[in-house]
Chain A
Amino acid sequence: MRDEQKGWKDIPIAGVCWKPATEYHTGDWRTFKPVRDQAKCTKCLLCPMICPDTAIKWNKATEDIEFDYNFCKGCGICAHECPVDAIKMVREGA
């Protein structure tokens, strides 16, 4: 993801950041994708807690968790830790 390159007159001083990291998608790092079996999931909320990339979110409206594949790096922690084995890691593009 490349940014337009601004000149020194157009950026804030002191190296203050001007973009949120959420505009930088890390999902394309992934080779395996976590896929959840909704029927198995007990919504224990462990996986959103331990995802290093905040790629599993609690949706208050639907009362369910959601994977954000824009950011999931495919580490597999969620699948490994899920107490009911509700998550499988599936090869991307498979």
Chain B
Amino acid sequence: MKAGQQETRAMNGDEAVAYAVKQSDVDVVAAYPITPQTIIVERFSEYVADGKVKTEFVCTESEHSALSACVAASATGARTFTASASAGLALMHEILYVTSGCRAPVVMAIANRALSAPINIHCDHSDSMAERDSSWVQIYVENSQEAYDSIIQAFRIAEHPDLLLPVMVCLDAFFLSHTLENVKVLPDEAVREFVGNRQLPLITNHNGEKVPFKLDPDNPITMGPLDLFDYYFEHKRQQEEAMQKAAQIITETHNAYSQLTGRRYGNGLVDSYRLEDAEIATVCVGSTAGTTKTVVDQLRAKGVKAGLLRLRNFRPLPVRDIKEALENISAIAVMDRSNSFGGYGGPIFHELRHVLYDTSSHPYVVDYIYGLGGRDMPQNIIKGIYKDLMEIVETKSVKEYVQFAGVR
């Protein structure tokens, strides 16, 4: 399969996601509409209506039920997908933990949107960042092409017998979900082959038999029991172990996919831009990386040694890659599109500083909360951030560790 065999289609991010799902031989899609994810559900409904997929589509009465249906379908052995955003994801909160606890490899697209109140339908990352501890793999994409590519990879990652954890693919509301872009798509068969059939590891059941890990009347298993203080902790330890293996599974899947398409997103975990000899750098997730790259180029043209690190994965946190990429940078600005109220900065800031604490170079790390509720992040603000970083390097001091960028 050559990259040349790919077809270019004009699609927005939501459509790209729906198209990837259509190609991935998904058994059950259970979902509930919410702006800006709606297009995913609508497009997929059309595929169902037109007989283009053999998927069972369950249009539930709530997101809570959508994810509940996905967990149970996944436990029954089906490949499952759902999509949500904002209030919908928040309503799923309880079941997010159940999904990972049941080791159900559900794949979900999130069109990142602000949380109420006041109600706002535009982009920020408050919704998915609030779920960072739910034991889901989180991939944040930069553009619609990556949304398409990541959904296909997500099925293979989630269902890997050593992982068996659900995966969220997060794309920025409107900036990606609704913006038309040229997306290269693979032929159906190539995707089918790449995702393969769902693998079911063997597991010991209550009869002492090794049976496939699914609800099968021929080989019964009991899932989701009452787990007291004597074993609950062990089950959570197993989940952490799976997360530890995730990084390798993600990079392997990303490599295999690049061979097929010729497209790469860094090493699959982090995507560095002009960082090699950089002195100052910003760190972000999602579509802001696009604008930031333009700014980096402009600064570079003026001789400023600026760079960017885009985290593609926030869960698992690519600790080693972050250290390697940033340890020689003098000053780093994290750009957080969500806030941890009263928490001294946003979630990415917290984790990044915590990772870099161990480096001997001890770079300066500051945070900029930006873009809440879809507020624009224009080039001049990003330039301002790099300017602040230059000042920090010059003065060897930080005036303010946490700031708000673009608020009046």
The interface of chain A, by Cβ under 8 A from chain B, is 3, 5-8, 11-20
**Which chain A residues lie closer than 8 Å to B222 at the CB level?**
16-17
Instruction: Name the one of A14, A18, A19 contacting B101, with C-beta atoms under 8 angstroms.
Output: A14
Please name 14 pairs of A and B residues whose Cβ atoms are closer than 8 Å in the assembled complex, sorted by A.
A6-B234, A11-B231, A12-B203, A13-B103, A13-B164, A13-B203, A13-B242, A14-B102, A14-B164, A15-B102, A15-B227, A16-B205, A16-B221, A18-B208
A13 vs B135: C-alpha distance in the bound complex, in angstroms? 14
**Which chain A residues lie closer than 8 Å to B230 at the CB level?**
3, 5
B349 at the binding interface (Cβ < 8 Å): no
Q: Are A17 and B234 touching (Cβ within 8 A)?
A: no
Given contact pairs A16-B221, A17-B221, A11 touches B206 in the complex (Cβ within 8 A): no
Q: Are B223 and A18 touching (Cβ within 8 A)?
A: no
Central interface residue in A3, A14, A17, A20, by most chain B CB within 10 Å: A14
Q: Are A14 and B234 touching (Cβ within 8 A)?
A: no
Given contact pairs A5-B230, A7-B234, A8-B234, A15 touches B206 in the complex (Cβ within 8 A): no
Q: Are B234 and A11 touching (Cβ within 8 A)?
A: yes
Which chain B residues (272-289) contact chain A, with CB distance < 8 Å? Answer: none
- Give the interface SS of chain A, mostly helix, strand, loop or mixed: loop
Q: Are B207 and A14 touching (Cβ within 8 A)?
A: no
**Which chain B residues lie closer than 8 Å to A5 at the CB level?**
230
Instruction: Name the one of B208, B213, B241 contacting A14, with C-beta atoms under 8 angstroms.
Output: B213
Q: Are B204 and A8 touching (Cβ within 8 A)?
A: no
What 4 A-B pairs have minimum CB-CB distances, sorted nearest first?
A8-B234, A14-B103, A17-B222, A8-B237
The interface of chain B, by Cβ under 8 A from chain A, is 101-103, 164, 203-208, 213, 221-225, 227, 230-231, 234-235, 237-238, 241-242
**Which chain A residues lie closer than 8 Å to B234 at the CB level?**
6-8, 11
Q: Are A15 and B235 touching (Cβ within 8 A)?
A: yes
**Which chain A residues lie closer than 8 Å to B207 at the CB level?**
20
**Which chain A residues lie closer than 8 Å to B203 at the CB level?**
12-14, 16
The number of residue pairs between A and B whose CB atoms lie closer than 8 Å in the complex comes to 58
**Which chain A residues lie closer than 8 Å to B231 at the CB level?**
11, 15
Q: Knowing that A8-B237, A11-B238, A16-B213 are A-B contacts, what are 16 other residue pairs whose CB atoms are under 8 Å apart, sorted by A's residue number?
A: A5-B230, A6-B234, A7-B234, A11-B231, A13-B103, A13-B164, A13-B203, A13-B238, A14-B235, A15-B102, A15-B227, A16-B204, A16-B222, A17-B222, A18-B205, A20-B206
**Which chain A residues lie closer than 8 Å to B238 at the CB level?**
8, 11, 13
Q: Are B101 and A15 touching (Cβ within 8 A)?
A: yes
Given contact pairs A8-B234, A8-B237, A15 touches B204 in the complex (Cβ within 8 A): no
**Which chain B residues lie closer than 8 Å to A7 at the CB level?**
234
A73 vs B242: C-alpha distance in the bound complex, in angstroms? 42
A12 vs B200: C-alpha distance in the bound complex, in angstroms? 13
**Which chain A residues lie closer than 8 Å to B206 at the CB level?**
17-20
A7 vs B223: C-alpha distance in the bound complex, in angstroms? 19
Central interface residue in B206, B230, B231, B237, by most chain A CB within 10 Å: B206
**Which chain B residues lie closer than 8 Å to A16 at the CB level?**
203-205, 213, 221-223
**Which chain A residues lie closer than 8 Å to B225 at the CB level?**
15, 17
For residue B200, give the distance in angstroms from its CB to the closest CB of chain A: 12
**Which chain B residues lie closer than 8 Å to A12 at the CB level?**
203-205
For residue A20, give the distance in angstroms from its CB to the closest CB of chain B: 5
Central interface residue in B230, B235, B237, B241, by most chain A CB within 10 Å: B235
**Which chain B residues lie closer than 8 Å to A17 at the CB level?**
205-206, 221-222, 225
A8 vs B164: C-alpha distance in the bound complex, in angstroms? 16
Instruction: Name the one of B101, B223, B235 contacting A8, with C-beta atoms under 8 angstroms.
Output: B235
